Chain A
Amino acid sequence: MTFGIVYIALLMLLLLAGIWTVMTLNLLKSAIGLAITSAILSLLLFLMAAPLAGVFELSVCAGLITVVFISAISLTKPLTGTEARARDHSRVKRFILLPVIIVAVAWGLYVMHPHLDLPLPAADVERDVRQVFWNIRRIDLVGQILVILAGVFGVVILFKDHPDTKGEIPRTPDAGRRTTDKDRPDTKEGTPA
């Protein structure tokens, strides 16, 4: 019974944290809200007897991804005061509907009453997650290596500071001249919108 109460309470907290993340005006607070959502999710995972996944969620999603977001926010240019006020004003207008929609959807779901209308498969024999990983889903590990490799290439390409290459491209007629921003308007002329 306590499981059920804690479960429902955590789900509610998760939703509240999610809504706060979406609604809050400050971008930094939004990123922190995401971290809090992640942390609550990892508590839920612990509750559902998935401790390893919970640890991953806590350290990687609540930790690493927040770091990525905060560095992205700090690497980009903040808004000036008037811009920010204008933005806040239009944001409030756009996002005031969210709680209403959430309540409406919640009521709709409550009426529809989603329930299990299928026979559940037989429960698994008690197995350890490490065993499943190594003995059944080893191909996923290969996939993880590949995806991390892709991430490494991506970070090298995206974050390595190339000097602006536009000026250095040889401008002979048969060498690569890319359409730069400057000559974009005249290439767009005659484009039917």
Chain B
Amino acid sequence: MPVLLIIVPLLALLVLNLPWMRLMNRLALWVGLILCLIQFFLVLHSPSFFWEAPPLWLGRLFLFAPSLDYLSLVMFLAIAIVGASALLVCRYSIHDLLEPVKPGACSHKRFLVINLLILALTGMNGVVLANDLFSLYVFLEITAVASYILIVAEKGRDAFEGAFKYLVMSAVATALILAAIALLMLTAGDLSYANIKLAMSASSDSHIVLAAVAMLVVGLFIKGGLIPFHGWLPDAYSAAPAAVSVLLAGIVTKTTGVYTLIRIVLSVIGFSDTLENLLLLIGAASMLVGALAALGQSDFKRMLAYSSISQVGYMVLGLGAGTILGLAGSIFHLFNHAIFKSLLFVNAAAVEQQTGTRDMNRMGGIAEKMPVTGCTSIIAFLSTAGIPPLAGFWSKLIIIVALWQSGHIAYAVLAILASLLTLAYFLSMQRRVFFGKLAAGFENLKEANVWILIPACVLAAITIGVGIGIPWLFETFLLPIRSLL
């Protein structure tokens, strides 16, 4: 019955857009939040009636037996949490400016943005649920189209530039993925993961299959913003409206790039020496280049975007280890990253909205005036840098141990080094933004309002909770990954 995770949001969207605009304008936010909460509790309580038995009528209606395993559940959880945060930030940061100007015209920019956010979440649910390559492509495109529009929702000049770069790179990636799908169709005549895997094992040294795998992997690297295909990512993240950067950085590129890569490697391509070496190389390059570039930034959101590239590098590195432990670390880090990077972007939204600038050189001592934002951002940055006992420490530790065990000692050392770089750029950020002397002009700065403090506090609590609860989580969260290989 998990197909309902696509169908129910679709129906909700259709109902929201029936012509009773006035009422729906207010309801949209709550509908989105309720959808996210339902998804959250469905994963946490995992009632078997929902995840297992597809009732006959529904199975017949949609003819879709999704691939469901432990990995999908983690993704649903992350999508729900980040989606809810993005919706709350949207309530905080997007003003319905035109309402007082033209009372009759019923402007509804926030309404449209919320609709598109729900649409992007639905698309990502579809990406996670897809069990054949073409459905995967369809849902990737839904997520991508919703993201392009969301980036330009506020119509700044930079937004158009960022969205255009994202669109072109993403379209090239899509073309590569589709070409790979067409070539893989030659092997199996079918598109489901299982059949293609079967057919590929029969003709594994065929040049056509090799070309297809190469195009697929490169396409997914572009979608995930890995070095050397990262050019679009900082532009798109920093130009997007606050709520949208939370969604993009927290979950969109991670679902469309990293999750899809993990899924494709696990269920279609399978590990091989060449692939592992490629993943390790690209992962290490992203990790280091992202961290070094982040050091040189003065724009708050751009720095976070480069940090995001660096963290994605860790995930790919974990996958490249090719062991169960590496996979567990990769998925765990994906989840942790969704939480702490969303938290950092939520904080960035609060700071940008309250101070009116993103330039870190013009800020200083903000923690004094915005204590909650300051505190939560320290938690998030400690988690990103991998300081025990926060969540980020454990996932990085698992990845490094996995690299060490599988004999890639040089890469393990690089990962530790990149962790120090992470610490360096975040310390520099904290010093420039939150600590030190209060910068001139911020004397009557106020703390952000409750709409943004709720997601900040909840995300910080999750980061601490996951970090402290790791002995318990090890049983429930990490060991089930064994079933994936």
Contacts and interface: CB of A to CB of B under 8 A. Distances in A.
A and B touch in the complex (CB under 8 A): yes
Contact of B207 (A117, A158, A179): A117
B138 A143 contact: yes
Interface string B94-108: 010110010000000
Interface in B62-115: 62-64, 93, 95, 97-98, 101, 109, 112, 115
Contacts of A146: 6, 10, 119, 122-123, 126, 142
A88 interface: no
Contacts of B61: 138
Contact of B445 (A142, A173, A181): A173
Nearest to A166: B156
Nearest to B195: A121
Interface string A154-193: 1011100011010011000111111101000001001110
Contact of B186 (A120, A140, A163, A179): A120
Interface string B142-155: 10011011001111
Contacts of A176: 93, 95, 353, 356
Contacts of B428: none
A143 B152 contact: no
A168 B102 CA distance: 13
B481 interface: no
Given A139-B62, A149-B119, A117 B208 contact: yes
Contacts of B7: 142
Contact of B13 (A116, A149, A154, A158): A149
Nearest to A173: B444
B368 interface: no
Interface string B421-454: 0000000000000000000000011100000000
A168 B207 contact: no
B153 A157 contact: yes
B126 to A, nearest CB: 7
Contacts of B97: 165, 168-169
Contact of A121 (B126, B153, B199): B199
Contacts of A116: 186, 208
Contact of A139 (B64, B149, B296, B297): B64
A117 B203 CA distance: 8
Contacts of A122: 189
Contact of B119 (A117, A150, A187): A150
A135 interface: yes
A178 B154 contact: yes
B439 to A, nearest CB: 13
B354 interface: yes
A192 B149 contact: no
Contacts of A154: 145, 148-149
B359 A187 contact: yes
Contact of A174 (B98, B141, B446): B446
Interface residues of B, number: 66
Contacts of B142: 143, 146-147, 150
A153 B358 contact: no
A118 B209 contact: yes
Interface residues of A, number: 47
Nearest to B141: A147
B296 to A, nearest CB: 5
B206 interface: yes
A119 B361 contact: no
B10 to A, nearest CB: 6
B356 A173 contact: yes
A186 B444 CA distance: 23
Given A142-B7, A154-B145, A179-B358, A190 B298 contact: yes
Given A135-B63, A143-B126, A179-B358, A157 B152 contact: yes
B98 A157 contact: no
The 8 nearest A-B residue pairs measured at CB: A121-B189, A143-B138, A118-B203, A177-B356, A154-B149, A118-B206, A139-B64, A150-B145
Interface of A: 114, 116-124, 135-140, 142-147, 149-151, 153-154, 156-158, 162-163, 165, 168-169, 173-179, 181, 187, 190-192
Given A163-B98, A191-B298, 13 more contacts: A114-B207, A119-B202, A143-B139, A143-B141, A146-B122, A150-B145, A153-B119, A157-B109, A168-B97, A173-B444, A174-B446, A175-B353, A187-B362
